[in-house]
Structure 1
Amino acid sequence: MSTLTALARAQAVVSGRAQPIATVRHLHVHEHPLVLIPLAMAGEANAPLAAMVGTGRSDPHLLVVTQPRNRDDRFAFFAALAEQVVPYLDSFATETEDVPVDRGRDVRQRYRDAPQLWVPNPAGVDFLRLLGRSTRFRTTDGDYPVPAGVPLLGRWLTFFANTAEMPGSCLLLNAVQALGLHWATGQSAAEDAQLGAQLAWIESGAEAAREAEKGPVAGPATDPDFDNRVLAPLIERSAPELPDVLRDLLLPTWERMWRVLDLLRRLPAGERVASRWDSDRDAYTAFAQHVAEGGAPQPRRDGAVAAAARLQRLESAAARYAVQRAFDDPLVLAEYRLAGAAFAGTVTLANPDRIDDSGKRPVLRPRIMVHTTEEVRVEPGTSLTSPARPAQKAKVISVSPDGDVLLELSGGMGRKLVAEPRSVPAVGERLVLTTLSEAYRPGGAFPEPADTPWTHGGPPSTEPDQQ
């Protein structure tokens, strides 16, 4: 937990109301998302009991497994879920747009929009991941065939669960983490996992949260008392009233999910949210085309090279997402100011026309002086960036004990020896400078899968059970 988040939690306890920890929304909220609330049977590994799914607040579809231990009933449930989910996913694979590549010398195609799935909590994401893993290799013929939509649903759910691991991705989101990214409650992170209590803290305060704790759970796990007292007898006798009981159990969470979306939509989107959604659209386009072309399902496990490459992508995405959030949101950037990775100050001197002719050719290198009252913990030679001009680098020339920082600027001023208007900070301008940077970071080099060393398992096997 960060320092400011801990302070916000303390303030929430004192005031009895959740406190904002963001000034902008750091995720994309779709105009037409698909909300999915899974429910699993207690004591069974990922055995689905029910799901409430739909794209409209007033039109939830309830799917129920009347006998969760019966294989045919379970796969009928998977098929019914596929009928609800897959058409929604396919509906975005229609209109495309041109995306310039290779500095505008070529174009590629990307779908204009992408689907977005919402579940109540991280456990819902895990449920979809396990559901995808258990269905994507099923066959529609031979022994134990399943309906055609089941393996397709499994491949899509695996794709969405994988994207949920990518920091900044918004294809599959859960309400608990989305709220926790923008508000701090006066309860622990473990208590925030109860969507009803967390939402009540934000909407109404501590007293409402205490009442919400008594309400139904948000799935996928059910309440043990409910299992023993209500659910088990209904399943035992295949009671026809089971769907009505489960509907009453899930409807409060369904309504809360849409209230979460309403809350988030009221926040203005961060400047870099749109670019991350573009990346999500790229990922959706690539996978949709892979499926349409008859590509193979995702492997059961990654090989050594694929796993290392994926880990590197996750690490790069996490670093990039942290920088983008800080550049979009002064409250997030304040954490870095507390840690000494950023400081704010006012420009007191500026020489926008300075030319450095010490090299082979003259280059534009303006200098500015920034006065700050904050502690400056950077050394001369450090490269800094201002969120107001992310393409511009400011090298620290000197730092005085009085808080005057002399900086030399490069980049983001045009290609001539005269800076473009407003590209150089003017005297009196307030600046925030940080060691954070959005600059591209090249990835590491990995061997070909066939050249995987024996220390990492050797070349991947071609046997089906190893794919």
Structure 2
Amino acid sequence: MSLLSTLARLEAIRSGHAEPLATVRHRHLSDSPMVLIPLATAAEDGAPLAVLLGTDRAEPRLHFVPQPLNRDGRAEFLAALADELLPYLESYAGTVELIEGSEKDPATGEKTPVTRELCADAPQLIVPNAGSVRHLALLGRATRFRRTAEEPAPGPYPAPARVPLLGRWLTHLTERAQVPGASLLLPMTGLLARHWATGQSLLEDQQLAAQLAWHSPPPGTTGAEQAELAETARDGRGQLLHPPAGPATDPRFDEKLLAPAITRHDAALAALRQARGRHAAAGAVAEDVAGDVAGGTVLGGEGARVREAEAAVRESVAELRRLLLGVLLPTWEDVWRGLDLLRGLPPGGHVGERWEGDRWSYTGHRDRLAAGEPPQPRVDDAVTAARKLAQREREQVRVEVQEALDDPLAMAERRLSGEAFSAVVVEVVPEYDTSGRSPKPRPLLVLRTADQPHADPGREVHRASAPTAQKAEVVAFDPAAGLVTLRVLTGMGRRKEPEPGSLPEPGQTVVFTLFELTPRQSAPLPEPADTPWTHGGPPSAARSSTSGVEEWA
């Protein structure tokens, strides 16, 4: 946690409400995001219990498993979830933009022009917290290898083709969520924590209701008091008035309400099976004594018992639906309330650029599915893992730089740590480098600053928000007088004199950073087939993408 974030949390404790950490919104928000709130069973990690989802705030849709330990019930739940979610994920695949580019021919080394498709937009999933992201990752891992009835050897319990397809999409989205700055799958608690500081810890912020309580406490109360109420207040039955934001459930809810309701459902199903068995036996008797009034009476009585048992099953399912909606709807409203808060902030200048990266990621996965590639492996090979790590490290640097350029509060954090400084131009002194065949402009900038940057002589600095990328070096720094002298090296054009507007004017406020504004590319990695044996060797058949087949126990 940075010093500025710590100060903002202390100020939130003093003021009693959340304090801003940003002046702009640093993540993309879709016009129609899919809000998805999962619930998992307490007995088995990753086992689904229910999902509430939808793109319309007023029309959430619930899917749940009446008996989470029943394999057939899980299969029906996953199929229903796939029917609900896949049309949304695939609806952005048809509208594309044509991007002109070039690629190098591996045989000749020459660049040839190519035209690529880029989806004009991409889906976006919003979940309550980071635990929900992990739960979706477990669902993706458990379903993307499932055998389908269309395969030559489907095996036991074949799944519909849409179930492993859903697993591949969930795996892609959850992996993309680990890339800093990506917005295809976003936890609401993380979004709010990036833009506002509360007076509680980051762990406590994972309770969405408690985190939101700091944003608008009623008059006469504080965010801390409202957060405590959101976490602990219970009704007359001992149930939380505001249940957790998923995927975990309240243990008291599991013990007092959910478990008895599931038990009643199991008993109703058992009674229905018995009634149907007796009805079938009565039907056989009636056939033997055709025309007998007693046989018809027995058959009619058993039929009435079947209808009563079916009604009991429907009632038990309806009871479970009411219980789960009571747990999920408060969190549903909280997620939409968080979206309202975030939409009140203007988007940052680099948000669109990062969203374009998400669109390329979505387009690439769409193309891999269309090409019939196998599902993502259970464990990445050495080169793939190294590439993912390098990409995430590179994107982390890029996001931090872009947020600092977009947001004065983010830049203030860098200024506080000595990685940047804001200054007023005192004087521009023309100077030239005459060591070459023709003199080159190397003007000096004398700046006055109240910051304390780590500006040692000879250190490279970069001008933020310059017309073109501009680099300078520190000539002298007098901390007591607050004067910094810089020699401008680049960003002035190719002429003998600096181009108009390329240098700041006296009296103008400028910001220089001691970090580069463009992250450096990592060293190239070998192809997976060329990986040395010391780093895992070439992928073998034993470690193919289907080696991690996992059937749901």
| Fold agreement, TM-score > 0.5 | yes
Does 2:363 correspond to 1:285? Answer: yes
| Inter-partner Cα distance in structure 1 for 2:8 and 2:174 | 31
**What's the TM-score once normalised by structure 2's chain length?**
0.81
| Inter-partner Cα distance in structure 1 for 2:453 and 2:3 | 19
Deviation at 1:434, TM superposition (A): 1.2
In structure 1, the residue matched to 2:455 is 378
Amino acid paired to 1:4: L
Equivalent pair of 2:397/2:519 in contact (CA under 8 Å): no
Deviation at 1:41, TM superposition (A): 0.7
> Which of these two proteins has the greater Rg computed from alpha carbons?
2
Structure 2 residue corresponding to 1:210, chosen from 215, 220, 228: 228
Q: Please show how residues 109-258 of structure 1 align to structure 2 within 5 Å.
A: 109-141=117-149, 142-143=154-155, 144-204=157-217, 205-213=223-231, 214=233, 215-238=242-265, 239-240=316-317, 241-258=319-336
| Inter-partner Cα distance in structure 1 for 2:500 and 2:74 | 65
| Inter-partner Cα distance in structure 2 for 1:25 and 1:320 | 16
| Inter-partner Cα distance in structure 2 for 1:90 and 1:175 | 23
| Inter-partner Cα distance in structure 1 for 2:72 and 2:202 | 39
Deviation at 1:300, TM superposition (A): 1.0
Equivalent pair of 1:301/1:466 in contact (CA under 8 Å): no
Does 2:444 correspond to 1:431? Answer: no
In structure 1, the residue matched to 2:405 is 327
Deviations 1:221-257 (A, max 9, x none): 1111100000001111212210111111111111111
Amino acid paired to 1:31: D
| Inter-partner Cα distance in structure 2 for 1:253 and 1:260 | 10
In structure 1, the residue matched to 2:37 is 37
Query: SS of the residue aligned with 1:181?
Result: helix
Structure 2 residue corresponding to 1:295, chosen from 361, 370, 373: 373
| Inter-partner Cα distance in structure 1 for 2:375 and 2:485 | 56
Distance verdict in 2 for CA 1:100–1:398, change over 3 Å: farther
Structure 2 residue corresponding to 1:407, chosen from 479, 486, 491: 486
In structure 1, the residue matched to 2:393 is 315
Query: SS of the residue aligned with 1:203?
Result: coil
Query: SS of the residue aligned with 1:202?
Result: coil
Query: SS of the residue aligned with 1:277?
Result: helix
In structure 2, the residue matched to 1:305 is 383
Q: Please show how residues 103-114 of structure 1 align to structure 2 within 5 Å.
A: 107-114=115-122
Query: SS of the residue aligned with 2:118?
Result: strand
- Superposition RMSD on alpha carbons, in Å? 1.9
Amino acid paired to 1:110: L
| Inter-partner Cα distance in structure 1 for 2:203 and 2:16 | 18
Instruction: Report how many aligned residue pairs link the two structures.
Output: 466
Query: SS of the residue aligned with 1:165?
Result: coil
Equivalent pair of 2:423/2:447 in contact (CA under 8 Å): yes
Deviation at 1:188, TM superposition (A): 1.6
In structure 1, the residue matched to 2:69 is 69
| Inter-partner Cα distance in structure 1 for 2:9 and 2:76 | 45
Q: Please show how residues 2-21 of structure 1 align to structure 2 within 5 Å.
A: 2-21=2-21
Deviation at 1:107, TM superposition (A): 4.3
Deviations 1:257-302 (A, max 9, x none): 1111110010011111111011111111111111122222111111
Query: SS of the residue aligned with 1:251?
Result: helix
Distance verdict in 2 for CA 1:14–1:230, change over 3 Å: same
Does 2:421 correspond to 1:421? Answer: no
| Inter-partner Cα distance in structure 2 for 1:105 and 1:438 | 29
| Inter-partner Cα distance in structure 2 for 1:60 and 1:356 | 68
Query: SS of the residue aligned with 1:173?
Result: strand
Unaligned regions of 5+ residues in structure 2, if any? 104-111, 218-222, 234-241, 266-315, 549-553
Moved more, 438-447 or 32-41: 438-447
Moved more, 37-46 or 414-423: 414-423
Distance verdict in 2 for CA 1:359–1:466, change over 3 Å: farther
Deviation at 1:219, TM superposition (A): 0.6
Equivalent pair of 1:116/1:171 in contact (CA under 8 Å): yes
| Inter-partner Cα distance in structure 1 for 2:323 and 2:31 | 31
Deviations 1:341-396 (A, max 9, x none): 11121101114x65433224443433311111322322222221222227111221
Distance verdict in 2 for CA 1:403–1:138, change over 3 Å: same
Deviation at 1:89, TM superposition (A): 1.0
Equivalent pair of 1:355/1:417 in contact (CA under 8 Å): no
Moved more, 126-135 or 1-10: 1-10
Equivalent pair of 1:391/1:411 in contact (CA under 8 Å): yes
Amino acid paired to 1:448: E
| Inter-partner Cα distance in structure 1 for 2:331 and 2:198 | 19
| Inter-partner Cα distance in structure 2 for 1:244 and 1:227 | 14
Amino acid paired to 2:428: A
Equivalent pair of 1:396/1:406 in contact (CA under 8 Å): yes
Deviation at 1:105, TM superposition (A): 6.4
Deviation at 1:14, TM superposition (A): 1.3
In structure 1, the residue matched to 2:306 is none
Structure 2 residue corresponding to 1:453, chosen from 532, 545, 548: 532
* Percentage of pairs with the same residue: 49
**What's the TM-score once normalised by structure 1's chain length?**
0.95
Moved more, 432-441 or 152-161: 432-441
Moved more, 393-402 or 358-367: 358-367
Deviations 1:27-46 (A, max 9, x none): 11111100000000111121
Query: SS of the residue aligned with 1:237?
Result: helix
Amino acid paired to 1:114: A
Moved more, 135-144 or 397-406: 397-406
Does 2:28 correspond to 1:28? Answer: yes
